[in-house]
Structure 1
């Protein structure tokens, strides 16, 4: 491991990790644009075609901790490269899929390759970059990942118009090859810690079962609303498997997840804060296009352009925010980001049919900037609070917090949006609407006033979540002095232990 890289090495290493993050993040949403085309092409149902999206997120969420643990045992660079190669090959296979079954299976392989990149990128950055550069590099990589998430739907539609649905997958081939070459040649070698060599297979199985039941249950909530007995069964099984997992991890000597890590409030509370922030990310991808298309009646081209331009501000600001965090500290930067996010969500709750494009963009940019400015220093804080031999699992927990935050927030907030929208549609139209899911009714046929009330109410709920995040951030800021004293004590203890070992 090297702590001092030349400027050229730093640039190429950042480019390799950032390009990989952009490609993986884009794949989250790019496929959504081709689902209707795939339904018609393969003569299948929407319920079946949705698994093309679900299997990718499912594999990422379920396997992230297992992959992160492998990163603490073996070479992170080797695992990262293996994921890139698998992702690139599976992208080729997706484009060659002869039927919907093969396409879903190959998308699962894509998710398996993606999880190595997604789970280990923060650990690699923390491991190879010195402390004074970490925030800036995390800023660049996070900015590129956010850009990929935002560009996915628009890029998918553009690629379809040029070369059909297969091009949506094959576009990853040149990007994947370039990223693989850069990472292989320019990323400093990563060595295994050699501390533990046993892998907790039973722990991985229990955690996978818990996350599988939870993700499937919450996905059904998102699609059908609450009330189905199967959802209760799945969530209950998730809790049972989670308890069994925690008992096992507290008992064995070499767990996949060291429960003792959560005894440090600075680590566990920052993970919670990270998940809370991402809890509003998923719903934004739903309600902003709905407002532009159905509330303001913008064309699809204009909607795509606006939703593509908004994240560009965050890409520009991300490395700046990281550099400021390196210089002035993570707490102040994350606090500023949360304030911007609160202002953006609260002002967005006043959107209406008379809102202008400029007014929408100002609100949207505030939200985008708030998100990116707040998550970068929190990521850095989480990675700084663990020992080097646990960087992999810390990076995996960040990725898991992100995924679970998006899933839980999307399910709960989309349910709130649908209930409020359809309740007000009943009041305005005097007709009975029994469903509570936006996927079960045609939103285009509902009154615009009801739709806007639903969107504004959802933004108010997001503002409340952000306010809670601000309160938690203030508490973390207030406690930072005590944790600094604890960190110094821990550092002194480790130094003494190393001297005795030598």
Structure 2
């Protein structure tokens, strides 16, 4: 008797007919995905504001507390592509909805954690749900939108991400200062419940599916090992209590697992990543640029809260970055070709970070510079996403979206680790120099993409 209800749990629910027949129904789907984009970035930016409070409560160093973010990001990076493959096979809407359920339940549990190891473990569970969301977000937007509306839809999604980033620092500062760090996680719960309902009734069922359900678990393990070893090594250099010999072994393990991952993808009958996709310069260059862009985006989110001053003031300064991002992603350069918009955005990022490497770090300078940095990233990100997704077949859009989000996750992870390393080794000025160097690389890669 339970067979039929259980079977229905594995079937994508259809939208109401009046929704499906509406000529602009794709914008309802985009709006539903935007809830996930908003919540994902809200969580990513708001958690960094808890670092000082978590350090005090659990008696841990910044290098230890940063694993509240890094454990989440490492799990996310390792799972994005395999989850994208799974979604291409069983249905993107189905995986997306279950991802929201896992993420929301884990968010509620994080607020009850009474030790740092437990909190880190719950963040891993939360990242599993986030992977189910993020691996599908770009794919759901691109497969739901007509070709002529794709960049505009991706721009709206990027703006939703930016709004989440914008609210994160300010809301996080207020919540940590007034209610406690637990509310940084509990704020996800009502948003998640609304998003589950919206996804159920507004997202279309998957029209094109890949012809396989096999997942390259050996590739998953190698990618997870490589990324985890690399971040552990960087964390050891940035202040985590680890001997030099262990850091060297971790770096060697990261390289060895990374090489093994590439070889595995070439030999596997059903590779996790189709290396043929990466032979397209638009895809390979776009993924590198996405990683660099998110490193520049998330570096300041870790750096600003530890510069000193109140957590509320840090949140207000940080808000200028995602506000600039949201405005540019929605309204900036809409008549420009994607490649030109990406180049202008990359150059803007490189130029605006120069004053932060040379001048006194006052709040007005930080706010203005971060706003312009956000504008540059807001010009670049949706244009770069559109370039990558346009080069990937629709039936592989889940894998393509997973690749884009994996590149973002790697950039986010490296942003957290590299800024912490620079702070530990030299100081805030060195961290801004690192960010400027990455922004210059972003401008160069974007320029070569347009050549």
Bin the TM-score by the shorter chain: 0.7 to 0.9
- Corresponding residue for 1:230? 246
- Corresponding residue for 1:206? 222
Distance change in 2, residues 1:303/1:29 (3 Å): closer
DSSP-derived class of the 1:328 partner: coil
Distance change in 2, residues 1:222/1:16 (3 Å): farther
The answer on 1:278 being equivalent to 2:294 is yes
- On the 8 A contact 1:135/1:319 being kept in 2, the answer is no
The answer on 1:469 being equivalent to 2:442 is yes
The answer on 1:217 being equivalent to 2:214 is no
- Corresponding residue for 1:183? 199
In 2, Cα distance between the equivalents of 1:248 and 1:461? 33
Distance change in 2, residues 1:363/1:130 (3 Å): same
- Corresponding residue for 1:141? 157
In 1, Cα distance between the equivalents of 2:64 and 2:214? 39
- Corresponding residue for 2:373? 367
The answer on 1:317 being equivalent to 2:328 is yes
In 2, Cα distance between the equivalents of 1:88 and 1:384? 32
1:459 positional shift: 3.8
1:385 positional shift: 0.6
Distance change in 2, residues 1:28/1:302 (3 Å): closer
- Corresponding residue for 2:282? 266
- Corresponding residue for 1:487? none
State how 1:23-422 maps to structure 2 within 5 Å.
Answer: 23-38=39-54, 45-46=60-61, 49-97=65-113, 99-191=115-207, 193-223=209-239, 228-289=244-305, 293=308, 300-321=311-332, 324=334, 327-352=335-360, 357=364, 359-412=365-418, 414-416=420-422, 418-421=424-427
* TM-score calculated relative to the size of structure 1: 0.78
1:231 positional shift: 1.8
- On the 8 A contact 2:174/2:312 being kept in 1, the answer is no
1:215 positional shift: 2.6
In 2, Cα distance between the equivalents of 1:415 and 1:465? 15
In 1, Cα distance between the equivalents of 2:295 and 2:145? 29
The more displaced of 243-252 and 344-353 is: 344-353
Q: Deviations over 1:370-419 (max 9, x none)?
A: 11211111111111111112211111111121222233355445545554
DSSP-derived class of the 2:90 partner: coil
Equivalent residue pairs, number: 433
1:361 positional shift: 3.4
1:277 positional shift: 2.4
In 1, Cα distance between the equivalents of 2:117 and 2:425? 34
In 2, Cα distance between the equivalents of 1:163 and 1:373? 36
Q: Deviations over 1:474-498 (max 9, x none)?
A: 22212xxxxxxxxxxxxxxxxxxxx
In 1, Cα distance between the equivalents of 2:158 and 2:182? 28
Distance change in 2, residues 1:133/1:471 (3 Å): same
In 2, Cα distance between the equivalents of 1:164 and 1:416? 29
- On the 8 A contact 2:74/2:224 being kept in 1, the answer is no
The more displaced of 240-249 and 255-264 is: 240-249
Unaligned runs of 5+ in 2: 1-13
In 1, Cα distance between the equivalents of 2:424 and 2:114? 37
- On the 8 A contact 1:275/1:401 being kept in 2, the answer is yes
In 2, Cα distance between the equivalents of 1:122 and 1:339? 25
RMSD: 2.9
1:269 positional shift: 1.5
Q: Deviations over 1:352-379 (max 9, x none)?
A: 26x572x443322211101121111111
* TM-score calculated relative to the size of structure 2: 0.86
In 2, Cα distance between the equivalents of 1:82 and 1:415? 36
Return the index of the structure with the highest Cα Rg: 1
1:30 positional shift: 2.3
DSSP-derived class of the 1:396 partner: helix
